Structure 1
Amino acid sequence: MDTGTHFVMGMALGGLATIDPVVADNAFTAQAVMLGTIIGSQAPDIDTVLKLRNNAVYIRNHRGITHSIPAVLLWPLLITGVLYTFMPEANLLHLWIWTFIAVFLHVFVDIFNAYGTQALRPITPRWVALGVINTFDPFIFGIHVAGLILWGFGSDPALTFVIIYVFIMAYYVIRFREHYKVKKAVKLHIPGARKIVLSPTMNYHRWKVAVTTKNCYYVAMAYNGYVTVLDKFDRTPLPESEILDAAKHDKNLSAFLSFSPVYRWEITEVKDHHEVRFIDLRYRSNGFYPFVAVVKLDQNLKIISSYTGWIFSEEKLRKRMKVLPE
């Protein structure tokens, strides 16, 4: 989920924690738990700072080790230890319990996005991405904000957030049913679909669709159960190519390939250099595919420059690659 949603979820958990008599009856514990749930709800996303280094490092590591099983166990210990140092009057056990719930819930809700997490590391490095809930879901964010406002006006936080989380659980069930229906509709519309990747949008009824068949890739949009194919590409296996082999050594392309489950590729010769481009098919926007990895190599197959990330025009890509327009 996005940072804002994780934040309001942390505050909501602090309110829900008052269902615990130890928290409700001890002001110091209640204050510490509120801090613990807010910090715990944000802690796994500390790897966002990697974006300051470069996109390749960020793409390869974001929602990776910081969302892993060891991290889910270690974050609460670290946060609880720091808070208890400054607030020794708080109940240590119950502070740890609610901080653990906040960290666990952060990682848990992230697996329902199309981006996903490596939540099962170190058991497996596989990305767990169910593609049921958009990274920012207006309903989930809005109902949390509504609960916080009601709390601010004097409603009982425990009862308020118990009711809200019952509604949210029901909402998740409904989204899974919608996901199933869309997938079924895609299979009917595109026979022979071997792999279907669904990406929810902020519009409840609209889904981005990427389909792999034996010979083709399809990019489609599903709306209210109706599937519209927007693009179709031949599915060409990666060739035995010295150019491609050289490009694969680039850190940007390597990061892209570690993350993207469905993409097409291009190898072109531009004046005095070669260009290798991989294009993720999940994120079509206004006829453009903004998530790419591009590697530029000279005639001796030495990497000149490269880029991976979100680019919404060729002009901006050329500036990133420091290549003058042809």
Structure 2
Amino acid sequence: MDTSSHIVMGLGLAALAQIDPVVANHSALSQAVMFGTVIGSNSPDFDFIYRMKGKGSYIRNHRAFSHSFLALPLWSIAVSGIIYSFFPASSFLHLFFWTFIAVILHVFFDLFNVHGTQVLLPFSKKWIAFDSLPLVDPIILLVHLLGFFLLSFFQMGKVFFIIYIFIFLYLAVRTLSTVVTKRNVHLQFHNSIRIKLIPRIFLFHWDVIIETKEEYLFGVFSKGRLKVDHSLSKKIDFPELVSDSKRHPVVSDFLSSTHYAYPFVHIRKSGYLIYWKDLRFRTNKFFPNLTIIAVSSDYKIMNCFIGTLHSLKQYKQVIRQLKNTSILKKE
């Protein structure tokens, strides 16, 4: 989920907390809980501080230990402890409880989108993603907005108790449909190694990546049918050059965040450009999440880029910068 969704959910949890009579009958505690749920609902994403060490460090560490099950109580203690210092008359136990719920739900819902989290760290580096929710789910946002509207007419704790029952039922439907769809795709492609479903905004619609020994297949699953519209062969050009690029720190950071990275090599007059692209995020045949390595004709890495490019114009600007910097370094 994105930041705005986590903020909205934090506010929704603050309203739900009014079902707790201790919170509902104590104005200072109600305020403290609201701060606790909103900040707690966003606290695992405070790993943005890794950006200070560069985009690569952030990509490697985002949704890693900050989203692990060991970090959940740490975030909750830190957030509720700081807030309690401003509301000493409130109940720390209740403040901690609702803050903890907010932190847990942040990581829980992140598990259901295409990114997933490394929730099992430090015991396992495996990325866990259930592929059930889009990064921004309009249904979850809309039912929260409906709940906020109804607060003028009904008791807020009861309203959001019903809202969250609906959200969890909605999540169950999306998750079950994802499991069934993945099984159906497996039946059509017995030789598949992995199948990745990228949920769209609408129910029962997915972008699909099918990995076989020979290639990656891309398609759309909708109305019970799979339509394959693109493929990439695993037989790549300049395999040694591609293999050597994996040792570069930026490429290593990029590869640590995805199992669906694919290398493209472009030849240019002064050397090569190696593109590592995340296949999970595709608009037609455009892959916005990537890292690019500029390599000289004598196989020396001259420059690099890591990040997200949203348009062809941005793409061209980055390539131009890489080329110009490479030329300057040679001179």
**Aligned equivalents of 1:295 and 1:186: distance in 2?**
35
| Structure 2 match to 1:296 | 294
User: Which amino acid counterpart does residue 277 of structure 2 have in structure 1?
Assistant: I
- Cα pair 1:116 1:128 within 8 Å, conserved: yes
CA displacement, residues 203-225 of structure 1 (integer Å, 9 cap, x when unaligned): 22321111111222101111122
- Cα pair 2:130 2:175 within 8 Å, conserved: no
Identity of aligned residues (%): 34
- Cα pair 2:219 2:230 within 8 Å, conserved: yes
Give the alignment of 1:92-103 within 5 angstroms: 92-103=92-103
CA RMSD of superposed structures (Å): 2.1
| Structure 1 match to 2:158 | 159
Post-superposition shift, 1:196? 0.3
* Local SS of the residue matching 1:253: helix
Give the alignment of 1:143-182 within 5 angstroms: 143-151=143-151, 153-182=152-181
| Structure 1 match to 2:328 | none
CA displacement, residues 17-43 of structure 1 (integer Å, 9 cap, x when unaligned): 122222122222111111111110111
* Local SS of the residue matching 1:259: coil
* Local SS of the residue matching 1:187: helix
| Structure 2 match to 1:207 | 206
CA displacement, residues 27-66 of structure 1 (integer Å, 9 cap, x when unaligned): 2211111111111011111123544653312211111222
**Aligned equivalents of 1:51 and 1:314: distance in 2?**
25
**Aligned equivalents of 1:43 and 1:238: distance in 2?**
43
Which TM-score applies when normalising by structure 2? Answer: 0.91
**Aligned equivalents of 2:76 and 2:239: distance in 1?**
48
User: Which amino acid counterpart does residue 179 of structure 1 have in structure 2?
Assistant: T
User: Which amino acid counterpart does residue 165 of structure 1 have in structure 2?
Assistant: Y
| In the alignment, structure 1 residue 124 sits paired with structure 2 residue 124 | yes
Q: Which runs of 5+ in 2 are unaligned?
A: 325-331
Give the alignment of 1:166-315 within 5 angstroms: 166-236=165-235, 241=240, 243-313=241-311, 315=313
Q: Which runs of 5+ in 1 are unaligned?
A: none
Change (3 A) 1:314 1:13: closer
- Cα pair 1:283 1:291 within 8 Å, conserved: yes
Post-superposition shift, 1:72? 0.8
Post-superposition shift, 1:69? 2.3
| Structure 2 match to 1:21 | 21
Change (3 A) 1:74 1:286: same
Q: Which moved more, 1:289-298 or 1:165-174?
A: 289-298
- Cα pair 2:138 2:201 within 8 Å, conserved: yes
| Structure 2 match to 1:37 | 37
| Structure 1 match to 2:4 | 4
Which TM-score applies when normalising by structure 1? Answer: 0.92
**Aligned equivalents of 2:207 and 2:49: distance in 1?**
28
| Structure 2 match to 1:61 | 61
* Local SS of the residue matching 2:256: helix
* Local SS of the residue matching 2:15: helix
**Aligned equivalents of 2:50 and 2:135: distance in 1?**
19
